[in-house]
Amino acid sequence: MSIFEYNGSAVVAMVGRNCFAIASDRRLGVQLQTIATDFQRVFKVHDKLYIGLSGLATDAQTLYQRLVFRHKMYQLREERDMKPETFASLVSALLYEKRFGPYFCQPVIAGLGDNDEPFICTMDCLGAKELAKDFVVSGTASESLYGACESMYKPDMVIFT
């Protein structure tokens, strides 16, 4: 069993017309034993940017704390929020920095950039980015999520309110 599968996780992000959606499971487990059913995997960076962290739960929490710190430092220095592309580069650099003792996380980043253009990407634990125009998945259930996303995705989906 891979260390990525130890706690189990599933994160998915999908784009639509000037919008995005990001979702995850809430189960925290140790192999087949359920520990909690309210574990947070998707975190808000700012109003237009979210990150989902699949993988080892302790590494996900540590990585999120470091990302919050770096984002706040960016806000203080630049006096604005990060664009999704910039945040993805920050996450990639942070993961690559720890490549010899990596965080066992696979981030999914979803946000709205300039002119409310949706941006989604995922990475491996070393920070190699995979940009997508439709959907990205991460976690132990990724094979099942790929099938579900391929069958449900339509270009230019809109928000129903």
User: In a 10 Å sphere around its CB, with 0-12 CB exposed, 13-18 middle and 19+ buried, how is residue 93 labelled?
Assistant: exposed
What share of the chain in percent tops pLDDT 70?
99
* Domain ranges across the chain: 3-152
Distance from the Cα of residue 99 to its chain's centroid:
18
pLDDT tens column, 10-37: 999 999 999 999 999 999 999 889 999 9
pLDDT of residue 64: 97
Q: Give the CATH number of domain 3-152; options: 3.60.20.10, 3.40.50.720, 3.30.470.20, 3.30.450.20.
A: 3.60.20.10
Tokens of 152: 């449900």
| Entry pTM | 0.93
Instruction: List the Cα angle 156/136/145 in 5-degree steps.
Output: 100
